[in-house]
Structure formats: C-alpha cells, structure tokens
Chain A
Amino acid sequence: MKDTIDLGKKRDDAFITEVEAHSGQKFSTCYQCGNCTAGCPAGFAYDRQVNQIMRGVQLGLRDKVLNSRSIWMCLSCSTCSLRCPNNIDVATVMETLRHMARKEKRVAVPKVEKFWFSFLDTVRAFGRSWEIGTMALYMLRSLRVFTDLDLAPEALKKQKLPFKPHSIPDGGAAAVTRIFKRYRERAKREGVRP
C-alpha cells in the first residue's frame, strides 16, 4: 500500500528553484495538457510519463523525480519541447534532472550511464564514436555480454560495425581528447563524477 503524500511536508522549494535555475524553465507555466507525454517515443519505457515528471517538479517532490527511471530512458529527441503549447523546453528539463540525479549519486538506470561512458570513451580516444569499441566496453562494464548480439551479423553486413576506428586528419583526435581533459578537470573542481 502506498502512503498518502503530505504535499506540505514533502514540498522541497529548493528543488524547484534549482531545477528552474539550471533548466531556465518556469514550471508554473505548465498546465498539464499532456502533449509532451502524447508524443514521447520512449514513453513505453518510462515508469512515470513526462507530464508526471513535470508535475513532480511542480510539487517539489525531489525523491519521486530524481529516483525516476524515466529521466534515464529519455532519448533527448525534443519532441516534447516542440509540441509544448507553453514553450517549455521539456527535454532540457529532463537533461537537468539527469545531471542533478548524478550529482546526488542516484542513477536509477546504471546501464544507461555505463553506455554513455563506453560511448564517450571511444570518442575521447579517437575523436569520433567507434561502434564496435562502444559495444565491447559496454559489454565489459555492464556484463551484458549477449545484449543485441543477434543484430551484429546484419550490422556487419551493412558495414555499420567497422573493426578499425574512424580516423580524423590533422590531429583531430588529440584535440577532442584535450576538450575531454578540460571538462574532466572542471568536473573534478565541481565535485561531479566524470
């Protein structure tokens, strides 16, 4: 059985202010029409629909929002932002919430984060994404060795899984690596996990 939410006690005004400040969006302009939910292509994988995430922030329910799986399943396609009749950039809100959840060390779907690391590792190393490298790193990190392996033959046939990394002329890869380094240092200063 679920407990009734005491809206007075649970309301975290600092949370609302923080999300508004970081995302640049004003939550009182959302009138809960549900158009963000209606168009969301990842909605099937959400534990709470987008408009419910928005509602959670409106009510200042920090735990409900930041512990949600939905913010990790978001594809950042921005259909929600495009459809919003009140010009709220909902995709940026989702992005903001992911950053906040990471800072608070609560990642509801760790394997999404692991996939990001795997992807970014290849970019850091080669300046561009390298599919097979991403795949291998993700398998090692998540121990999900057989995930989507059945798709490999088809992808190989279409030359979507090159064995060699893409190369960038004129030291592009090194330049990208430097960018990563800079950000890693900033993350260290601000106390965020890179």
Chain B
Amino acid sequence: MRIGVFICHCGSNIAATVDCAKAAEIAKSFPDVVYAADTMYTCAEPGQAAIEAAIHEHKLDGVVVASCSPRMHEATFRRTVERAGLNRYMFEMANIREHVSWIGKDKEANTNKTAELVKMAVAKLRNNSPLTAKTFDVTKKVLVIGGGVAGIQAALDCAEGGVPVILVERESTIGGKMAKLDKTFPTVDCSACILGPKMVDVAQHPNITLYAYSEVEEVSGYVGNFSVKIRRRASYVDWEKCTGCGACSEKCPSKKTPDAFNEFTGLTTAINIPFPQAIPKKAVINAAHCRQLTKGKCGVCAKTCPTGAIDYAMQDAFVTEEVGCIVAATGYELMDWTVYQEYGGGVWPDVITSLQYERLLSASGPTGGHIVRPSDGREPQTIVFIQCVGSRDKSIGRPYCSGFCCMYTAKQTILTKDHLPWSRSYVFYMDIRAPGKMYDEFTRRAVEEYGVEYIRGRVSAIYPDGQGRYVVMGADTLLGEQVEIKADMVVLAVGIEAARGAPGLAEKLRISYDAYGFYMESHVKLKPVETNTAGVFLAGVCQGAKDIPASVAQGSAAAAKVLALFARDKLENDPQTAQVDIRRCVGCGKCIRCCPFGAIKDSEIRGENKAQVIETVCQGCGLCTATCPQGAIQLAHATDNQILAEVNALCR
C-alpha cells in the first residue's frame, strides 16, 4: 500500500503549539507511508489540490490528513480523494487541533502526540477497504407535527412544491398560539385576519391531509422511509358528518366547562368549537365535563345534531402513514408562573397572564374585546405590565430570555390605550429587547405617542389593598428609588417553555433536546433547521424562542430542506453498516434483540438460522458488534481488526 500523510497548520491554530514539519518527517518512517508533507490550510483549495496532485504523482492508494475534528472536514477530504480516483473510505483523519494543539502548550509533547495519532490513523488505513453506498427509494411524503403558524407554513410550502403533506395537530383546530392573539406587532394587524387565509389554504389544499385532535404515537424507520403511527383521539363527534353548525354547543346544558382556548378567562360548553375561524370547524366533546359521558344521562347534543354526528361510544383510532421526512413544529407553552408567590401565585383574579389579556382584547374572546377586570367586570383605570416573569430568572431555573415579550407588551399597552383612552399603563422592564425590523420604533411609539410609562426595574411583590385594587411594589433603578403603583389590573409577561410532552416526542423522533425541552438544531449557526437525525427538521419555537416572522421563516426553511431531499429519486445510505460473516454466525439472535432500529432480521441460509442486516436501515451504531458473542457481526470501517491495529500502533 502507498500512503500519503498531510499535516495541517490550520494557520496558527495547530502550528503555534505543534511542529508540523517535524511531525511530517516522523510520519515518513511509518509503514507504507511513501509521502508526507505539512500544509498551511489543507482544507483550502490549494491544500486540496496538493492532495490530489500527490495522489497522482506518488500513486497513493490511501490518504491521512491530520488537522481538525472529522466533524468539520471529513466529508471535504473524502470528496478530495474521490476526485483523485480513490474510494472515499481510503481516507483517515487524525484530530490534532481539538485533541492536541488547543489543549496543550508543550510543543515537544504536542508534536509527539501528533505523530502518535498519525501513526494510529496510518495503521487503521492499512486495514481499510473500499466501501460503496447502496441506494434506496424515498417516500416523497412529509409529516408535519404541529399546526401552529410554523407548521402551517412548512405544510403549505411543501404542498405547493408538490409533496403530499400529513399535518398532525394535537388540538381540535390548527392555528396554535397565533390564533389566540388579537393583534400582532409591529404593524398591529389582526392576527386572525392574516392567519385565517393560511388556515383555510391548509384545509383546501389537495396535497394536505390534516389530522386534528391527533398525536404522534410511534415513529420507526429512517430518512426517506419513516413509518408513523398516529393516534386520532376520540372527539365523540363523527367529523365526516359534522358540518360545524354549532347547534350542539347552543343546546349543551354543561355550560361551566373551562375554556382552554380562551386561556381559562371564560367558560364554555362541554361540546364546542373553539373559535369561529377554527380549521377544521368541527365540534369536540370535552369528556371530563360532558354529562352523558360522566353521568350517563343527557344526550342533548345527539338529539340536537341535524346530521346525527354525535357518537358517545367513539374510541381513539390509529392510522399509520409512510413518510420520507418529518418536520417538528410543536411550539411552546407559558411556564407555570404560579411559582411566583409574591405575585399572588394565581390567587388574585386580576393578576393575569399576557395570553389571557390577549383573549380579553380579542373580539372573539370571552368579553367580546372589552377590557374588563375578571374579578368584577369593571374597566380598569390603571394597568401594570410586568416583564420577565419566568424569564431571565436563574432562581427558578429559567435563565433564558423568552424573546418576544418586550414586543407584545408594547403592543398590548398600545391596544389598551386604543380600547380605554383614559387608562394609564405602566411597564416594569429590565431591558427592552427590540432588535427586529421596525421593532424599536414600535416600543418608542408606545412611550412617545401612547404615553405608556416605562419603569426600569423589577417588581418585588403585589398585594391587594383591601379596596379592590392591587399595590405593586417596585423599584425605579434609574431614579434610584422605591416606587409603588395602585393598579386595577396586573398583566404578567410570562416566559415560555417547550410544549407539553416535547421531550417525549423528541425521544420518538430520536432527536436531542436541551434542559428546557427545546429541540436541538444540528448546528447553532449553520444548520438551524436540521437535527442530528437525518430527515427530521425543525420549525418555530420548538427549537427556541422566536416571534411570528422568524417562525414563518423557519417553517419555509424546513420546507426547503424537505423539497431538496425529495428532489432526488434515490438516497444513498452510509456504507458504514454492520456486516455478518455467515460462517461465524451461530444464529443466536442476540443482535436482532439489541438493534434499536430493527435493522437485523433472521434469515435461513442452507437450513441454518443466520442474522441478516438490512443495510439501508442500519445506522451503524455498533451495538450488535459489541453484543455478538462470536465476533461474527462487524461494523464496516470500524472492524475489530481496524480498531486493534490502531491500539497496536499506539501501544507497541
């Protein structure tokens, strides 16, 4: 074998603490190494050209590059050797930046370690063999999980691109949080008016199949060929027959059902349609509050329904869909702010969340768009808004900024002035975070044109004054004094957390999530839409706090990723898969039981049971190779012989 070794300086990243020329000189003494050199930037065009030239000139059949982490440039160099006519797996990489130069200052020791790492890579390469990828078919269909604005955008863009879309929404209507908002910043345009048309498009698009009131139960398979089991929760209404007329809701006697869509600011009926623009506009029975389902007698809705759609015996149903890609757009929830006992912990009726206030502002809300105090229905004179409740607060384990509260608080103060011109609004803030287009101007407008009083400080406590009002004890740090406001109503800009059940779904999708349940993107800057699982993409707040424009942009970005993947008819697998030596396999089946991907099956070869790897399903995790008592199953490109050769090179 003829091996070439290239030691990269990485500018001064490596060369500052490693003698690259000396390491290259040592490398020349390793077995089969016929050429060794040090280069300034191996990944740059001249660096790659030097590798190609050396392959031709010295008739190399294997290349080692000692540079950065393989996570950075392994793919780059594999393409380089491939261009020069070698198999891409006749290449090995030694990480002498993260593992050597960045972590030690002793140049001599670093140079020795570099030489040893190169020696290991050479030993591995001598045992390498060319590998070729297999191709497999792609199911050109996408699953979008979550029907908020991000999911809607991803679904519509994919559908427009000609891809059939399965949209799964947990609630009985799509629209997500945006559907609950009255107006949106910084243009103060009606949320329902701009979201409504998109929701209607989802309902009418021939490429979109909508499963509302449904949840993802199981996910199996791999990029291009996922199989997804969806639970269609029992709505007790046959949606094929339901016309959304609302007669059932009018007659329902159980009128004290908590109204989740209105953030529990009002009451609704046990059978209801959440809001007028709901998509699909179908009724759902809240089983916990339905008299027929809890006490077994009532049946008013069944008698009222003109199409006979009510079915009290309905059970959850399951459907299985085959898809090629998945977009997770599961959104967020407000954190449980009642941990703030100093703000009443949820006891004072007129201390409400910003989302509840949004429902009070909305014409489709419980008050028809009139701002009134939940306690006595009077119009408030003085309203205090408190920002960062459950954001940027390490003491309750929420150190992050929720991103959009500064802006919606400014919006709510402006709307308050529009609704109640004689009212006075105060905002307690720590910093105003308004970096978007026209955002800072918007917050300034609240102050300059609407006379909103911004107070730089936090609020220590809220308590009732005994006469129906609330004393808000705060500080004005700019004034350097304690301040106090008697408020009729207090609105808390409550911080966000990942949607209920987000970690559970992440585990089904085999993607990572952070300590707060937000899904991890593949690279913070350069792969913000991808996850570490091929074929699974992210959109919206499930990945981290973002406002509507950013959520829509990420929805479209996820769709672009899906369409790019589906532009190919066949996908290539990674040939670093498990391979069975059938002469050694005794058919014990341990590998079949330990494989997390179901990639190994039992097959009969000449009357004997043998393990067989389905190469397109195998993810190359190596569990089976560690489990096999016979050493019969080997992971290509990480075989026992290759690993032992590396160990021998280091220890001998």
- Given A35-B475, A51-B477, also A40-B394 (CB < 8 A): no
Contact A32 B477 (CB under 8 A): yes
CB of B187 within 8 Å of the partner chain: no
CB of B331 within 8 Å of the partner chain: no
Contact A84 B395 (CB under 8 A): yes
Chain A residues with CB under 8 Å of B477's CB are 32-34, 37, 49, 51
Interface string of B469-494 (1 = CB under 8 A from A): 00001111100111000000000000
CB of A48 within 8 Å of the partner chain: yes
Contact B430 A31 (CB under 8 A): yes
Chain A residues with CB under 8 Å of B514's CB are none
- Given A49-B481, A85-B394, also A39-B457 (CB < 8 A): no
CB of B460 within 8 Å of the partner chain: yes
Size of the B side of the interface (Cβ < 8 Å), in residues, is: 22
Chain B residues with CB under 8 Å of A34's CB are 456-458, 474-477
Interface string of B517-537 (1 = CB under 8 A from A): 000000000000000000000
Nearest chain B CB to A40 CB, angstrom units: 7
122-167 of chain A: CB within 8 A of chain B: none
Chain A minimum-CB-distance residue to B461: A39
Interface string of A84-125 (1 = CB under 8 A from B): 111100000000000000000000000000000000000000
Nearest chain B CB to A27 CB, angstrom units: 15
Interface string of B392-424 (1 = CB under 8 A from A): 111110000000000000000000000000000
Q: Which of B342, B456, B461, B475 has the most CB of A within 10 A?
A: B475
Counting chain A residues whose Cβ lies within 8 A of the other chain, the interface size class is: 20 to 34
Chain B minimum-CB-distance residue to A35: B458
Q: How many residue-residue contacts, CB under 8 A, span A and B?
A: 71
Interface string of B441-477 (1 = CB under 8 A from A): 0000000000000001111110000000000011111
A192–B459 Cα distance when bound, in Å, is: 39
Q: Do most interface residues of chain B lie in helix, strand or loop, or is the interface mixed?
A: strand
Tell me which of B342, B394, B430, B457 contacts A37 (CB under 8 A): B457
CB of A25 within 8 Å of the partner chain: no
- Given A31-B430, A37-B457, A51-B475, also A85-B395 (CB < 8 A): yes
Chain A minimum-CB-distance residue to B431: A31
Contact A85 B392 (CB under 8 A): yes
A35–B477 Cα distance when bound, in Å, is: 9
44-90 of chain A: CB within 8 A of chain B: 44, 48-49, 51-52, 79, 83-87
Contact B458 A38 (CB under 8 A): yes
A43–B473 Cα distance when bound, in Å, is: 12
Chain B residues with CB under 8 Å of A48's CB are 480
Chain B residues with CB under 8 Å of A83's CB are 342, 458, 460
Q: Which of A34, A52, A87 has the most CB of B within 10 A?
A: A34
A87–B397 Cα distance when bound, in Å, is: 10
Contact A33 B458 (CB under 8 A): yes
Q: Which of B460, B476, B481 has the most CB of A within 10 A?
A: B460
Tell me which of B392, B393, B474, B480 contacts A38 (CB under 8 A): B474
Chain B residues close to A by CB (< 8 Å) = 342, 388, 392-396, 430, 456-461, 473-477, 480-482
Q: Please list 26 pairs of residues, one from A and one from B, whose beta carbons are closer than 8 Å in the complex, sorted by A's number.
A: A29-B394, A31-B392, A31-B430, A33-B388, A33-B477, A34-B458, A35-B457, A35-B458, A35-B459, A35-B460, A37-B475, A37-B477, A38-B457, A39-B461, A40-B460, A43-B482, A44-B482, A48-B480, A49-B481, A49-B482, A52-B480, A79-B460, A85-B388, A85-B396, A86-B394, A87-B394
